[in-house]
Chains A and B, each alone.
Chain A
């Protein structure tokens, strides 16, 4: 078998599995609303506590913990079997979430089972990435390490793409009632996972162990205690801290802001309709994904550091103008001033009191403008559409020009993600020696992405509540963390490409 064909198989085996793990992890978050009505009903304090733990603990605590558990295992028994195990755990728990009966059927056992399975998902995700990145890097020639490992870097975004696509496909092919029913369509994405995982396990089983790890094992030089050697060896621990604060912390917030905060912002702050907000993300991801490979390739030529730093810098200086454009271009009052109403269709109106002077009217109508944009206008008091009551605008449908402009802006946000994320696997692999590589690179990666990245919505909400006058105040958290990381990265990091990782 020639070298190119071999590395291609290694990349496919690693990337497909990692993409499936991301898919599995995302569908839970994307279906959180339906899942909460099925398993975590409102008004039950215990169910609410379990729901909180399922959402927060899986990302913040269990992912870094998974990095330690599986990182250690990967440095002790090998990369291949460890990331096979994480794949089976992730796929199995995802499939089982789709089989758990609802709270109505089995009571508190339902949220407890879902929490347990969600924690297994977090644990598995914590172990997967380090294994896949290490496995590919240890097969790669030094001059192409950035390019080959950048395939692994596409998987988080492609996992999101597949998750968005599968959920949209299922949802568009049935009514809302069928989708949200107890055994309805929302379970299909979970069941599909088992097929994907079976294929991926089959591919991975046929692969051999990483040549560098095999050599180390043959020579009896593997680590006896990877955790101790990673974190109690001063020289290595110093590099773990530098990887976290000088690279991964900023990468985590740029990644999260581009892929998740943007989508949430379009849906909840701009109130763009479900289908358009999803397709904006899908197009932007499709256009941006090749840039992971471009920046991985470029990092082999010019080094990893400056590509990542420029990506962070661009995020820092353009986040507020970009998100401000999202808000301004979805301002319905401005739309109405620019384009006359073409059609206005009353959907519903209810009069809750009989006295005409004090009557409370709830009314909604779909308004279509001549430029093709439309929106639902809702009022909850005052006489019907006489201009006295404040309106709430929902389900906004963008006109063609604005729609493509938004795709372009989200593309830019994901383009920054490709800059910081494309070269980072090679960067982390080259920082640590083979015998403790899996452990040493996994922990900072999952703290950076799981904790710093995962906190973007929470800190955003905290800032918005504290300073309600500024709708963009939530962006100061990713901007602040990325700035701190940029300063540390620029001053302390080397722009080296380590030719020799056979250590």
Chain B
């Protein structure tokens, strides 16, 4: 029996979002695409365990996350250099955001513990409910809420600190250039 085309289309429709999530986990587009491919292979091999009418994106995200977690344990060291490489994964950057600001944001996001980052992305970017995100991550809803809040607080701190660092020397420089003493 062939795969129901409707199910197939649901799978395909989830791929763009699945890639975005994979990139946020891996920090590297090649590995992310491998991960997505592996997820699709696994999903289609076990498509019978998907109940039609239930949440296809959540099902696929769960598979992808589990694969990533088991791979992550093997390759921990490599994955941790994700920091600076994330920026290389995208061809463009969103128009409404300045390049510098965007890079700062990426850098700050990369500093979050991975469980906080994934919770924030699932809820804040993928658009999953807290319940779905909890199911995907295999933890309690309260845990997801806590991780998301912690992630947001930490990001706000990092971004605020960055901008103070950025403005500080600049202000000092301007003061010097203006021939000013200090007040």
A pairs with B: no
